[in-house]
Amino acid sequence: MKIKKFHARTFSEVLKAVKRELGPDAVILSSEQLNENMVEVVAAVDYEGISMSEQSAPAERPTDLSELKSEVARLKEALLQMKKSGYEMKLPDKKLKVLRLLLKRSVKEEFAMRLCEKASDTESLLKVLTEEIKTMDALSSQKAVMLIGPTGVGKTTTLAKLASRAIRSGRKVAVITLDTYRIGAVEQLRFFARVLGVPLEVVSDVSDLKDRVVKHMGRDMIFIDTTGRNPRDEKYINEIRMIHSLGLPIETHLLMSTNSDDVFMTDAYRYYGKLNIDCLGFTKVDEAVHAGPIYNLSVLYQKPVAYITTGQRIPLDIEFPDNNALARLIIRKGVD
């Protein structure tokens, strides 16, 4: 284990230095505000890669490795707890309330700690969050909107909501689906397209997409649905990249289900983060216990939130909150 002391002007600066030097797995052992301009943090990181003894018998090695792994996991957990309680002890009461509220709302610990530097109490937290969180004013500045995201998040349903609202506001719409992968996917969209009275193009090969988009350039908006896939699927990520390389006027919306596991969402960022995402949409807010993940992902992706969806009804269950409304949702949604 490597342990090191860091100094900087603010907690966020010092946390950045810790990450830069010790990597994302570093844990904070203690933190202290030394004076107005100086923060001290002691951080540690586990050994990277544990080398097995060359002498040990092959049969013993897996046993050794799994024991070591669980020992490291236990140590990590203990250090995390120390880090949290160390930080909490140093906070004044009002800030401690802010920290606890954010953690209760599923805001990631490091983000919550950073917010605590800016917000002196729960009242000022709303202002800080409102300033930080970005939303989109207009729905789309591009001709086409493409929805991407993990399996079952609500891409097709959201597409139907967006298309329906565009039609209601007097726009001429076309729908294209690239989802010929899942059984029943085309039928699902064919049904929506029939109800909405808009043309539907089914594209089974990405190389045909350009022609289909060009065909409908005369329309005001083109909505493109995609297959839901595991973000770890490299072929899928490359396919989306290929679409981006076609040079079409497409705005890409990444949809995430607000009730997904935070570990999954953060892991998915490693893959979706490589793509040209223009904005985020959060689905199933009605089913989620907390809205903290909306903040976590908007910080991770550094992209504005375009909309949230709040149920299965088309086109009713979609909202376009401004930053203040979103900040209120993040602070208030949950059980106390």
Residues that bind Mg ion (CB under 5 A): 155-156
How many angstroms separate the CA atoms of 157 and 251, rounded?
A: 18
Token pair recorded at residue 180: 């010929």
Nearer CB in complex with Mg ion: 130/156: 156
How far the first Cα of the chain sits from its last, in Å, is: 38
Q: Which of residues 155-194 bind ligand GTP (CB under 6 A)?
A: 155-157, 179, 182, 185
248 binds, among ligand GTP, Mg ion, none (CB under 5 to 8 A by kind): none
Q: Cβ contacts of residue 227 below 8 Å, gap of 6+?
A: 178, 179, 180, 181, 182, 185, 236
Least distance (Å) between residue 318 CB and Mg ion: 16
Among 112, 128, 136, 153, binds ligand GTP (CB under 6 A): 153
Q: Which range in 16-24, 149-157, 203-211, 246-254 contacts ligand GTP by CB under 6 A?
A: 149-157
Nearer CB in complex with ligand GTP: 56/312: 312
CA–CA distances in Å: residue 182 to residues 128, 179, 194, 205: 43, 7, 20, 14
Q: Which of residues 263-302 bind ligand GTP (CB under 6 A)?
A: 283-284, 286-287
CA–CA distances in Å: residue 219 to residues 145, 175, 299: 13, 10, 34
152 binds, among Mg ion, ligand GTP, none (CB under 5 to 8 A by kind): ligand GTP
Nearer CB in complex with ligand GTP: 228/292: 228
Cis check for the bond before 315: say yes or no (omega within 30 of 0). yes
Q: Which of residues 192-251 bind ligand GTP (CB under 6 A)?
A: 228
311 binds ligand GTP (CB under 6 A): yes
What sections of 105-218 are H helices per DSSP? 109-118, 122-132, 155-168, 185-196, 209-215
Angle formed at CA 54 by CA 53 and CA 55, multiple of 5 degrees: 90
- Residues near ligand GTP (CB under 6 A) are 151-157, 179, 182, 185, 228, 283-284, 286-287, 309-312, 317
